[in-house]
Amino acid sequence: MASWFRSGDFEATVLPNGIRLHAVRAPRYKTTLVTAFARSDLGDRAAWTALLPFVLKRGCRAFPTEASLRRHLERLCGTTLEAGVHRFGSHQIVSWELEIPCERFLPIVLRRDFLGEAFEVLRDLWADPLVQGGAFRSDYVAREKANLAAQIRSLVEQKDRYAYERCRALMAGKTALAIHPYGTLVDLEMVRPGSLWSHYRTWLERAPVDLYAMGPEAPQEILKRAMPALTFPRRAASSAPARPTFVKFSGVRRRAERARVAQGRICLGFATNIDPWDDGRASDAFLVYNGILGGYPHSRLFQQTREKESLAYSISSVADRATGWLFAEAGVAPGNRQKALVSILRQVDSLARGRIERKEFALTVAAMRQGLRRLVDLRAAQIDAHYEEGLLGRTFTRSAALARLTEVTLEDVRRVAGSVRLAASFFLGPA
């Protein structure tokens, strides 16, 4: 009999092989959303880990080709499966997301245990991959290496994301925080089918796995369907995340790159005094600060740099909760680069001097409140919030997050604003 404990808005239990299951009944949905996260530290094997979900779904013993897997999922009334690789601070996170129709909303002739069969698919992919002579199939590895290499090379296509990644790398220097979740082409080149299989076995043993389920079924029902499939042997991994890497900044790291572009992309990286592990009001005040600077249409960057000075169409700021860093990003006409830089930095400076109006503070808190309240209708975002807070050593609940937000004062935000300093400046401009 599994023992359940409360984990924020979820009920949680630990399977015999260390997988932590977090489940909550959300009766208004007609599908169950299942998300699995497995994490490891970003390092020189990042490209190897990034390859894993793609090689695994390429073929397992039950479904030797991805097309056969997809056809099986389609017969499960269109169960969807997405695999991805993400980053949170210095964690590299492999995710699997399945959305499974609930059979009782479908015609009787189509009804099957979709949820149980979906968990079996996860088991097939994770525990029973296609292995020949102690190695993944070489043609699958070769193909997925080529695909990942293409994805890495193509990062430059999304100019805003590219500018952000380059700016982040400038901020992070030689720390793991600089590593892209896809890894590098150099590391990728070293991958061989046999060594990737060894890497996978070690990774699966060590990576803490958190499995989330939200839908019309009760947690006990989810467990009943998951248990037969997800009890494959695996060493129970420690789940305590390490404190994030800290980077010391001195001066401003600057870089400009040229490309065949019509528009210049500015990305500025700012350091703050925020300790992401601090459970106090500072972390929340940091998010409010970001909202005032560039998180909303009422924010400084949108109202001033875009609407008043007509310098940009896309302009915003984003707070990275995992590092305490803040990024301001804008697309500007190449000839307006300096004007836009001055405009953005003027707003940062104005906030740093404590010139924050009660109105903009109140508007931002109101928008953030609605965002938190809205989470109840956004399953994936609710799961992400719970998982990411866990990586910062905290347990997320909507009600506690709302209560903490209410406690944030204008003075708290001014303190954060006073600590914000430019640490990196990146510009992508026309050749």
Partner 1 sequence: MRKALGRPSWRVERRFDPVFREAIVRAVRPGFPTLLFAPCRGTLQKFALVAVDCGAADLVLGAGVRRRELPAGTAHFLEHQLFEGESANAFDFFAKLGASANAYTDYGETAYHVSCVDRFPEALAHLLRFVRAPHFTQDTVEKEKGIIAEEIRMYRDDPDSACLQILHEALFARHPARLDIAGTFASIRRVTPATLYEAYWAFYHPARMVVVVAADIPLGAVLAILEKTCAEAPAGHPRPWRPARRRSVSEPSRVARRWVRRHLAIPLPKLLIAFKEGATGLRGVPLLRQRFSTAFLGDLLFGPGSLFHQEAAAGGLIDEDFGFGYQGDFDFGYSLAGGRTRDPARLRAALLRAVERAGREGISSDDFERIRTKMLGGFLKTFHSPPALGRTLGGCHRAGIHLFDHARALAALKPADLVRRLAEHFRVDRSATVVAGH
Binding site for partner 1 (CB under 8 A): 27-31, 65-67, 70-71, 74-79, 99, 101-102, 105-107, 110, 139, 143, 146-147, 150-151, 153-154, 156-159, 259-263, 296-298, 306-308, 310-314, 331-333, 363, 366-367, 369-370, 373-374, 376-378
At residue 256's C-alpha, the angle toward residues 250 and 262, to 5°, is 145
Shortest distance, position 53 Cβ to partner 1, whole Å: 11
Shortest distance, position 102 Cβ to partner 1, whole Å: 7
- Residue whose CB is less far from partner 1, 241 or 331: 331
Question: Which three-class secondary structure state does DSSP give residue 320?
Answer: strand
- Residue whose CB is less far from partner 1, 29 or 277: 29
Shortest distance, position 173 Cβ to partner 1, whole Å: 26
Shortest distance, position 156 Cβ to partner 1, whole Å: 7
Give the separation between CA 261 and CA 113, rounded to whole angstroms. Answer: 52
Give the separation between CA 386 and CA 380, rounded to whole angstroms. Answer: 10
Two structure tokens written together for 229: 């499939």
Q: Which amino acid is at 415?
A: R
Two structure tokens written together for 33: 């959303």
Shortest distance, position 141 Cβ to partner 1, whole Å: 13
Two structure tokens written together for 240: 């305590």
Shortest distance, position 154 Cβ to partner 1, whole Å: 5
Q: CB of 168 within 8 A of CB of 269? A: yes
Shortest distance, position 114 Cβ to partner 1, whole Å: 8
Reference 266, options 345, 163, 336, 162; nearest CA is: 163
Shortest distance, position 80 Cβ to partner 1, whole Å: 9
DSSP state of 2: P
Report which secondary-structure segment, H or E, holds 290. helix 281-290
Shortest distance, position 72 Cβ to partner 1, whole Å: 9
Shortest distance, position 101 Cβ to partner 1, whole Å: 4
- Residue whose CB is less far from partner 1, 272 or 305: 305
- Residue whose CB is less far from partner 1, 147 or 419: 147
- Residue whose CB is less far from partner 1, 281 or 306: 306
Q: Which amino acid is at 196?
A: L
Burial class for 398, CB neighbours closer than 10 Å (0-12, 13-18, 19+): middle
Question: Which three-class secondary structure state does DSSP give residue 354?
Answer: coil
Long-range CB contact pairs, 378-384, < 8 A, 24+: 379/26, 379/29, 379/33, 379/214, 380/33, 380/35, 380/97, 382/9, 382/214, 383/22, 383/33, 383/35, 383/212, 383/214
- Residue whose CB is less far from partner 1, 283 or 305: 305
Count of beta carbons in the 10 Å neighbourhood of residue 281: 19
Residues 6+ apart with CB under 8 A from 96: 34, 35, 36, 53, 81, 82, 83, 122, 125
In angstroms, the Cα distances linking 43 to 68, 178, 209, 241, 322 are 34, 10, 19, 15, 17
DSSP state of 228: T
